Structure 1
Amino acid sequence: MTFSRRDLLLGSLGASTVALGLSGAGTLAPSLARAATPTATSWMRAIDGHRSLASLTIPGTHDTCALNYTPFVRCQSYGPRDQLKMGVRFFDLRPADEPDMPIHHGPVYVDNTMVNVLNGCRSFLKEHPSETVLVLIKQEHTTSSAADFGARWRRTTKPFNDILLTPEKLPTLAEARGKVVVITRAGGVPGVPYSSAVVSDKYEVTSRDNARDVKWPIVRSALNKADSWDSSRSKLHITFCSGNGTPRPWADPGDINEVIEPLLRDWLTKRTARSGERLGVVLVDFAKKAKIEQIAARNFGRNTWA
């Protein structure tokens, strides 16, 4: 994947000492690091553009578009555009091999499409060119061959080639600013291989007690590993805080979130925030402003923007 002069100049937003409080080779000037308060819509602008995306703490959403239907399908309360405004920068998208690539959660169509999501990303990135959005693509509902699904992907996303990045390795933030970076777990779709990431995704959770006693320790261990392991910060770490179980009496995503959310919040609150901390991609259900802020603010050694 090559980058235009415009892309690299846009990425150099990480070098403006006046607007961003950066010094030297793009590192945060110590005197300005606290004064330059990040915001939900532009928190990446204060991060050194030379850094790999793998070195960041990135809030994301599991089954990003699953807003409606039964409790076993619903995973979110806000749509992708609102999620971007609250600071989410990683989408978990599961399109089918059908016109416009409708998004599914299992067999259920969740009233959104790849075309609509990418249009929303384009609008957001036009207004906030310092940001990037990572999208994880997995074929859902249909069982097309890799060749057929890849052909559908190329036809559907061709109008978005100006914003799509499909590199084999994670780019730096400078290279990714203003772009949508594809992480692929779908045959035929180019992008950073999902298999190259360190992933924690225990999604089968049988009860609230199981969420507390089994799921949460796995999440906590994965987040600790993301910060302590791989000192080169070269591998993307992805931790799913979500889970599901069906049929009843197993827990649905809302049940599990009611257990995991306060545990995650308390763990982050008690854990000393420090500059340079890396928790990787933290995927949550039922994203809301305070939850996303607490995750993203870890990039700045904080628990909140202020």
Structure 2
Amino acid sequence: MKTSHKNLLFPYTVLSLMILCHGKDLFFNDNGNLVLPGSYNIPWMAGIEDFRDLSLLTIPGTHDSMALHGGPEAECQVLSLKDQLRVGIRYLDLKVFALGNTMYVMHGVMYQHSSFKEVLDTVQAFLSEFKTEAVIIRVKPESFEKDSVNQMVQSLIGNDKHVWVNSGMPTMGQVRGKIVFVQKSTFTLGIPLIDTESKDGNKVNNIKDKDNAIIKHLNQAAEAFGGDNIVLTYSSGTGFGTFWGMFLTPKRVAEKVNPWLNQYLRQFYPNHPRPCFGVIAMDFPGIDLIQTVINLNWW
């Protein structure tokens, strides 16, 4: 299966750069009041075969999933965690700061009004209601207490059978109803994670360059999927800290990138099988973009 996807993206790269344009529709969302259609398929993973490895799925995720507070330069999402899960997000990106006996969810120096335990409680409540689903969580330890986060997370989850902390790649059937941790750098619980983005790769000077970077990273993801790692690509970015992109907040980047990304991904719908891109972590994703990512799983 893996070899049949290799090099699928290359023929489309030049064409897509010429024809895809930016706009604002249901692919970008900055409205925190989620209203789902009555027919909306919340438990979309129910349609994934039990035998498929998690690394063979294309999964919609959010970058800095809890970054709803702190002003334009800090805010990356608008939907609450509960609503993100209901709309189809299955990968969460969390920066965690350990202080005393509590782990706080942060974005830089901005506290995001939630503890890590509260995040786990929300996810577990969702999985109790929708037992066919699985939610992948990446923990990024922050500040001077990085080394203690591993131990604190392990103590918090204990021997909970509804949490996957093994390094082996599970099948969908093995993780239904479970939280799945991924490991990278100083956090060592769960499945190894490959991040296609280089250091400072989230810095955006202009949108066209960001488009090109996303295409490059999706090419890498399509090559690397299906192994013993979860592969992650970020479509998010910010101009904060750059000169030419100083006014490109995460929201303004997403407003331009998200409709483009939706159209770029949809060009692969005629492919049988469709390419696998692993996790795509987004800022301010709209319902239609999330559905476009999900529908790459149906061949």
Q: How does 1:72-91 map to 2 (within 5 A)?
A: 72-91=73-92
SS across alignment from 1:91: strand
Question: Can you list the C-alpha shifts for 1:266-288, whole angstroms capped at 9, x where unaligned?
Answer: 21233334454212101100122
274 and 233 in structure 1: CA distance in 2 versus 1, 3 angstrom threshold: farther
Question: Could you say which residue in structure 1 is the equivalent of 2:168?
Answer: 169
Q: How do 1:260-299 residues align onto structure 2 when only pairs under 5 Å count?
A: 260-274=257-271, 276-277=273-274, 278-299=276-297
Q: TM-score, normalised by structure 2?
A: 0.78
What is the Cα-based RMSD across aligned positions, in Å?
Answer: 2.2
Kept in 2, the 8 Å contact 1:182–1:192? The answer is yes
Match of 1:238 among 232, 238, 246: 232
Shift of 1:102: 1.1
Aligned to 1:211: 207
Q: Choose which of 129, 132, 135 in structure 2 pairs with 1:133.
A: 135
Moved over 4 A (4+): 230-234
Tell me the amino acid that sits aligned with residue 279 of structure 2. Answer: V
Give the structure, 1 or 2, with the largest relative contact order (CA under 8 Å, sep 6 or more).
Answer: 2
What 5-or-longer segments of structure 2 have no aligned partner? Answer: 1-38
Is this contact kept in 2: 1:275–1:300, CA < 8 A?
no
Letter of the aligned partner of 2:207 in structure 1?
Answer: A
| Pairing of 1:136-215 with structure 2 (within 5 A) | 136-140=138-142, 142-146=143-147, 148-158=148-158, 161-185=160-184, 187=186, 189-194=188-193, 197-200=194-197, 202-206=201-205, 210-212=206-208, 214-215=209-210
Q: Secondary structure at the match of 1:204?
A: coil
Q: 1:187 to 1:233 in 2, by over 3 A?
A: closer
The percent of aligned pairs where both chains have the same amino acid is: 26
- 2:204·2:238 contact (CA, 8 Å) conserved in 1? yes
Using the TM superposition, give the Cα deviation of residue 136 of structure 1 relative to its aligned residue in structure 2, in angstroms. Answer: 0.6
CA distance 1:149–1:67, change in 2 (3 Å): same
Amino acid at match of 2:296: R
**Using a 3 Å threshold, how does the CA distance of structure 1 residues 235 and 155 change in structure 2: closer, same or farther?**
closer
Task: Give the counterpart letter for 2:102 in structure 1.
Answer: D
Q: Which amino acid aligns with 1:60?
A: G
TM-score of the pair, normalised by structure 1: 0.76
Stretches of structure 1 lacking an aligned partner (at least 5 in a row): 1-37, 302-306
Q: Which residue of 1 aligns with 2:33?
A: none
Deviation, structure 1 residue 296: 0.5
Q: Compute the displacement of 1:250 (Å).
A: 4.3
Of 221, 243, 262, which aligns to 2:216?
Answer: 221
The answer (yes or no) to whether the contact 2:191–2:230 under 8 Å persists in 1 is no
Which letter does structure 2 place at the counterpart of 1:239?
Answer: T
What's the CA shift for 1:115?
0.9
After TM superposition, the structure 1 stretch with the greater mean CA deviation from structure 2, 246-255 or 258-267, is: 246-255
Q: Give, in whole Å, the separation in 2 of the partners of 1:184 and 1:190.
A: 5
